[in-house]
Amino acid sequence: MTMRIPFSLFLIITQKILWANGGCSYNKDLRHCSCSLVDLTNVMSIVSCIQASSLEFQGGRFVDTEEYSLHNVEMEQVLAMIHLPLSKVVFANVVISEEFLFSFLNWVQRIQINMLAFVNTTFEGKSNSQPMVGSPPQILSLQVINGSSYPLFDRVSDFTGLRSWIFKLEELILTKSQLSGIPCNTSRQFKVLSSLDLSENLLQDENVSSSFCQGAFPNIKTLKLHHNYLINFDTICQTLNKENQLKHLDLSRNNLSSAAASLCEWQPSLTLLNLSDTGLKELHHILPRNCEILDLSYNKLYALNLSLPSLRELHLSHNLFTTISSIGIFPLLQILAIDGNPMKTLQRGQLQYFRHMSTVRADNIPYICSCSLVHDINEMTMSSLTFQQWPDGYVCDSPDSLKGQRVSEVELSFFECHKPLLSVLICIVSLLVVVAVVVCIHKFHQSKKTRLQNLQRSNVCNMQFQT
């Protein structure tokens, strides 16, 4: 008679053994376990990852359903022994079928996973799985970076098996994946999604309009559309001003330079707007009136005419500003970045208009190291203001004798700093000397003339006496 030991009990007995033949590598300090995809067919390898807080499956290919379905029961039992939440599960540089994704989700059904990530992943096949049985996986965030699959359009039915968990995500990141849009009906299903990142895809203005149709993403608070193909600021505003929960919007690295003036008003909830590297030469748009953080870096702006009373943080790096006075006055501004602008000077009096200013970044500017500049910057750095990149980033561009030298190291003498005053003093002294010389010469001639006259009188008297 053969004794049969339950598989789960066998694992409990053997989990203390060091699995020398296992393909997974466990870092005890980081509690991170790194495996190859093929290790999912080797139960003993996965056992060594039971104490891990993060899992990574690097490299491999799983497209044959039968290859991994044979291990479904064993893998579910092994992963059921993980009682602590997993901060992250990553599949990197792999090729997997969508059917495998469903199998994996069944394996981790009872585990709380903060983030499930697919990096450089190719999904093959189209899943026809039925809705998942039992409680859905507890996954808060889904991340797909440089992933390839069938387009999401016209695939609403494919989400049937995933509906129990994918529409309960709080964060969704789909970047570098040649995504051109999300179907309206699909967008409406994300009832609790608060953060959406669609950066570095193929989105155009009309795609955003269709993806953010009426009722889509009702709880969205953070939206990143960085580096797509958006060109019309007004269209984007008209599309997104229905999102009354939106707080953070990133439109950076889109070509908005040719957009006409927009009179569209944003929702009052929007407090952070990123328009960096969008080719802007002038701002004719109405910006969110409650904006607290505004990024206009890497544009071609030379002046601002804005009224943003709540603005606390303003980034103007690498524009065409020549003076701080052209930036405008924002009464609550605390952080200002003006590095990389052709300003040449920075005056203490200009910053005094910003009474709440605490942090300034003004490096990478071609400073003319005059006495007033050196004095003002050194005074400001010793005040309550924090100068980022000080002192290495603050370098003299002129005069030639100081070019390349750090502003903090410049030492100018009293005579170098007061040349005009010294010139006036020298002129005055010279004039006084000339006047004194003239007076002396005049007095000398007068004295000589008087002596001659006295001598003549004396001679006349002598002659009269002798006569």
CATH code of the domain in which 331 resides: 3.80.10.10
Residue 98, classed as helix, strand or coil, is helix
pLDDT recorded at residue 5 = 38
pLDDT recorded at residue 154 = 45
**Structural tokens at position 229:** 């193909």
Residue 178 falls inside a structural domain: no
pLDDT recorded at residue 124 = 83
Burial class from Cβ neighbours inside 10 Å (0-12, 13-18, 19+) for residue 400 reads: exposed
pLDDT recorded at residue 70 = 62
Query: Does 69 score more than 80 pLDDT?
Result: no
Residue 264 falls inside a structural domain: no
Which of the residue ranges 140-144, 212-216, 410-414, 417-421 would you say has the lowest mean pLDDT?
Answer: 417-421
Is the distance from CB of 357 to CB of 351 less than 8 angstroms? yes
Is the distance from CB of 112 to CB of 85 less than 8 angstroms? yes
Burial class from Cβ neighbours inside 10 Å (0-12, 13-18, 19+) for residue 257 reads: middle
- Cis previous bond, 268, omega within 30: no
Is the distance from CB of 228 to CB of 200 less than 8 angstroms? yes
Query: If you compute the radius of gyration of the chain from its CA atoms, what whole number of angstroms results?
Result: 39
Which one of 3-12, 58-67, 101-110, 235-244 scores highest in mean pLDDT? Answer: 235-244
Is the distance from CB of 74 to CB of 7 less than 8 angstroms? yes
Query: Does 19 score more than 50 pLDDT?
Result: no
pLDDT recorded at residue 3 = 38
Query: Does 311 score more than 90 pLDDT?
Result: yes
**Mean pLDDT in residue range 111-117:** 91
What is residue 365's DSSP assignment?
A: -
pLDDT digits (tens, 9 = 90+) for 264-277: 899 999 999 999 99
**Structural tokens at position 408:** 């903090």
In angstroms, the CA 92 to CA 59 distance is 6
**449 confidence band (pLDDT: 50, 70, 90):** confident
Q: What is the 3-state secondary structure (H, E, C) of 315-340?
A: ECCCCCCCCHHHCCCCCCCCEEECCC
Residue 285 falls inside a structural domain: no
**Mean pLDDT in residue range 223-239:** 95
Query: Does 466 score more than 70 pLDDT?
Result: no
pLDDT recorded at residue 51 = 86
Portion of the chain with pLDDT greater than 90, in percent: 46
**Structural tokens at position 439:** 């007076």
Residue 395 lies in domain: 301-423
Residue 229 falls inside a structural domain: no
Query: Does 386 score more than 90 pLDDT?
Result: yes
Is the distance from CB of 52 to CB of 31 less than 8 angstroms? yes
pLDDT recorded at residue 15 = 42
Q: In terms of residues, how long is the chain?
A: 467
Residue 404 falls inside a structural domain: yes
**Residue of 43 and 49 predicted with greater confidence:** 49
Longest dimension (CA), the chain: 179
In angstroms, the CA 205 to CA 235 distance is 7
- Number of structural domains (the chain) is 1
**Structural tokens at position 388:** 């980022």
pLDDT recorded at residue 196 = 98
Could you tell me the sign of the dihedral formed by the alpha carbons of 321, 325, 326, 330, in that order?
A: positive
**Mean pLDDT in residue range 345-361:** 89
Q: What is the 3-state secondary structure (H, E, C) of 208-266?
A: HHHHCCCCCCCCCCEEECCCCECCCHHHHHHHHCCCCCCCEEECCCCCCCCCCCCCCCC
pLDDT digits (tens, 9 = 90+) for 197-229: 999 999 999 999 999 999 999 999 999 999 999
pLDDT recorded at residue 432 = 80
**Residue of 60 and 395 predicted with greater confidence:** 395
pLDDT recorded at residue 328 = 76
pLDDT digits (tens, 9 = 90+) for 21-38: 458 899 999 999 999 988
In angstroms, the CA 101 to CA 137 distance is 12
Query: Does 248 score more than 50 pLDDT?
Result: yes
Amino acid at 46: I
Whole-model pTM: value is 0.83
pLDDT recorded at residue 40 = 81
Query: Does 195 score more than 60 pLDDT?
Result: yes
Amino acid at 55: L
**163 confidence band (pLDDT: 50, 70, 90):** low
**9 confidence band (pLDDT: 50, 70, 90):** very low
Residue 45 falls inside a structural domain: no
Strand pairing class (396-398; 272-274): unpaired
Query: Does 288 score more than 80 pLDDT?
Result: yes
Residue 57 falls inside a structural domain: no
Is the distance from CB of 297 to CB of 318 less than 8 angstroms? yes
Residue 231 falls inside a structural domain: no
**pLDDT averaged over every residue in the chain:** 83
